[in-house]
Amino acid sequence: MGHPVTTNPFIIMLINMTIVFAVLMGLSAMIRLIHIADPTKESK
């Protein structure tokens, strides 16, 4: 696949952590939206 963009493990770790945090925030936002617009929730 050619040469890697960087061989610096710190840069690779930063990129991986950024991707992981972005995915986690996206999941939590989806969960919050589902809880807000939950059609199965009983109205009190």
Provide the whole-model pTM: 0.57
> Rounded to the nearest 10 degrees, how much is the dihedral formed by the CA atoms of 22, 25, 29, 30?
60
Residue 44 falls within a domain, yes or no?
A: no
pLDDT score, position 40? 76
Residue 2 falls within a domain, yes or no?
A: yes
Asked if 34 and 28 count as a contact pair (C-beta separation under 8 A), the reply is no
Residue 11 falls within a domain, yes or no?
A: yes
Overall number of domains in the chain = 1
Q: Give the domain extent around 28.
A: 1-35
Residues in the chain: 44
pLDDT score, position 42? 67
pLDDT score, position 4? 63
- In the chain, how long is the greatest CA-to-CA distance? 60
pLDDT score, position 21? 98
| CA atoms of 34 and 28, how far apart (whole Å) | 10
Q: What pLDDT, in 10s, does the model give residues 17-43?
A: 999 999 999 999 999 998 888 767 666
Residue 8 falls within a domain, yes or no?
A: yes
Asked if 12 and 6 count as a contact pair (C-beta separation under 8 A), the reply is yes
